[in-house]
């Protein structure tokens, strides 16, 4: 009986140790990507201290000014639609605009993400490929059409379909939200490209 208890205790310790190692490795990978984002955009890195000997680790974030606009990349405290699905969010300051819209990949998941679009109707641009793959909700279609050039529609079609991300316009911000954490180079580069796209889009909206 004593040997069985020792085995169970040893097994529990081994599982906890493995979990801690995996958690630490994952946290280090994410921290590295945020460090690179901070360097790429000249932003400040916020890295919280670990708690409970490393079993509780808050996600890092970056914030500051890029191309004359306040910008941040972080992980909100709550998941999508109050679920456990974590999003990483790039938020960019938008000045002097009342434009409100939400764009995401079309499909079942897109429908779920559009539940917080404020009841706005689906808008179609007339570009068949774009309208088939991107679900756009806005009550300001004319203003949106003026800034969504063919090049931007293509970028949105390819990017939102691949990443399952959502683009929000309104409330003085542009936001690019993607499910999951920034844990590798590919996702980091996706956010870098999104930042440049949002800066260009903001300039067109304010022009």
| Tens digits of residue pLDDT in 143-185 | 899 999 999 999 999 999 888 899 999 888 999 999 888 989 9
3-state secondary structure of 27: helix
Task: Tell me: pLDDT of 22 over 70.
Answer: no
Q: pLDDT band at residue 55, thresholds of 50, 70 and 90? A: very low
Whole-number pLDDT of residue 25: 60
Name residue, tokens 């310790």. 13
Whole-number pLDDT of residue 152: 95
Q: Which long-range contacts (CB under 8 A, 24 or more apart) does 199-207 make?
A: 199/66, 199/67, 199/69, 199/92, 201/147, 201/152, 201/174, 202/69, 202/92, 202/93, 202/94, 202/95, 202/174, 204/147, 205/94, 205/97, 205/99, 205/147, 205/169, 206/94, 206/95, 206/96, 206/97
Q: Give the count of beta carbons closer than 10 Å to the beta carbon of residue 191.
A: 22
Task: Tell me: pLDDT of 26 over 80.
Answer: no
Residue 37 burial (10 A CB sphere; 0-12, 13-18, 19+): buried
Q: Taking the model in full, what pTM does it have?
A: 0.79
- The residue ranking higher by pLDDT, 105 or 17, is 105
Name the strand (E) or helix (H) holding 34. Answer: helix 2-41
- Please say whether the dihedral angle defined by the alpha carbons of residues 78, 112, 161 and 151, taken in this order, is positive or negative: negative
Instruction: Tell me which of 33-37, 39-43, 56-60, 69-73 is least confident.
Output: 56-60
Token digits of residue 39: 């360097």
Average pLDDT score over residue span 134-141: 89
Highest mean pLDDT among 9-18, 76-85, 181-190 belongs to: 181-190
Whole-number pLDDT of residue 159: 93
């Amino acid at each position: 009986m004593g040997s069985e208890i020792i085995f169970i205790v040893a097994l529990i310790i081994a599982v906890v140790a493995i979990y801690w190692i995996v958690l630490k490795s994952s946290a280090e990978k994410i921290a590295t990507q945020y460090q690179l984002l901070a360097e790429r955009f000249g932003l400040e890195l916020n890295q919280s201290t670990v708690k409970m000997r490393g079993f509780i680790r808050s996600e890092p974030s970056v914030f500051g000014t890029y191309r004359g606009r306040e910008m941040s990349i972080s992980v909100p405290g709550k998941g999508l639609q109050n679920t456990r699905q974590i999003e990483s969010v790039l938020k960019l300051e938008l000045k002097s605009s009342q434009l409100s819209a939400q764009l995401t990949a079309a499909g079942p998941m897109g429908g779920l993400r559009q539940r917080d679009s404020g009841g706005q109707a689906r808008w179609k641009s007339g570009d068949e490929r774009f309208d088939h793959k991107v679900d756009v909700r806005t009550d300001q279609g004319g203003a949106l059409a003026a800034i969504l050039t063919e090049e931007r529609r293509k970028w949105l079609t390819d990017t939102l379909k691949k990443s399952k991300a959502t683009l929000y316009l309104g409330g003085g911000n542009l936001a690019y939200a993607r499910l999951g954490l920034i844990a590798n180079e590919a996702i980091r580069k996706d956010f870098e490209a999104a930042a440049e796209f949002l800066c260009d889009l903001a300039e067109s909206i304010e022009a």
